[in-house]
Chains A and B, each alone.
Chain A
Amino acid sequence: DQQVKQNSPSLSVQEGRISILNCDYTNSMFDYFLWYKKYPAEGPTFLISISSIKDKNEDGRFTVFLNKSAKHLSLHIVPSQPGDSAVYFCAARGTGANSKLTFGKGITLSVRP
């Protein structure tokens, strides 16, 4: 049972435009959501997080939006740069005894120059 889903395996956008990466989850007990970025031959790197009590968190070019009623979050990158080309993982943290991080399968973002 996949509790965190990234249904689109890939996304291609033009440099300078907005990239929108989507993530859906099924467990309403998640209390934190995170995005990680991964380049080839490297480990994932923490990008941005959002608490379940917020609906938006912004850090420079990166903004994460959370829609709890729809159990959906999205990562917006504006403007997109070629260096943003990477695999992006959505992750969610459970609460209490099940507070491990659950990751989605990832989305490969390609930013065309």
Chain B
Amino acid sequence: DSGVTQTPKHLITATGQRVTLRCSPRSGDLSVYWYQQSLDQGLQFLIQYYNGEERAKGNILERFSAQQFPDLHSELNLSSLELGDSALYFCASSTEAGLAGIKQYFGPGTRLTVT
């Protein structure tokens, strides 16, 4: 158990809809990262937050947005969903203040299926 929790575990929705994925980092970790893993792909970095502020952006679509709240939990919002958005979405946290923590702790992921 990494200490990072993600909800929901599974999500099935239709094209055009909007969903919110939630992540609670390990106790004490200030950095939260979001990754997308599509079929046969490695983990693609989406975005990082540190103590409530956006720190780094990766291959995140404009239809996607994220935020980190004062209690440090984070939400990833995906809107106008397309079939190609079906993937595993992972959240990770780390203690390091740098742009990318060396040791990131991953949650179990949310499997999103868009039909």
Residues of A within 8 A of B (CB): 4, 6, 32, 34, 36, 41-46, 49, 89, 91, 93-94, 97, 99-106
B115 interface hit (Cβ, 8 Å):
no
Tell whether, in the assembled complex, residue B43 and residue A45 are in contact, meaning their CB atoms are under 8 Å apart: no
Tell whether, in the assembled complex, residue A89 and residue B48 are in contact, meaning their CB atoms are under 8 Å apart: no
- The contact size tier of chain B is 20 to 34
B24 to chain A, nearest CB (A): 13
Tell whether, in the assembled complex, residue B42 and residue A43 are in contact, meaning their CB atoms are under 8 Å apart: no
Q: Which of B1-59 contact A (CB under 8 A)?
A: 2, 4, 33, 35, 40-45, 48, 56, 58
Tell whether, in the assembled complex, residue A101 and residue B108 are in contact, meaning their CB atoms are under 8 Å apart: no
Interface of B is mostly: loop
B63 interface hit (Cβ, 8 Å):
no
Residues of B within 8 A of A (CB): 2, 4, 33, 35, 40-45, 48, 56, 58, 90, 92, 98-100, 102-109
Question: Given A43-B4, A43-B92, A44-B90 in contact, is the A100-B40 Cβ separation under 8 Å?
Answer: no
Contact partners of A49 in chain B: CB under 8 A:
102-103
Tell whether, in the assembled complex, residue B90 and residue A43 are in contact, meaning their CB atoms are under 8 Å apart: yes
Which chain B residue lies CB-closest to A101?
B100
Question: Given A100-B45, A100-B48 in contact, is the A45-B2 Cβ separation under 8 Å?
Answer: yes
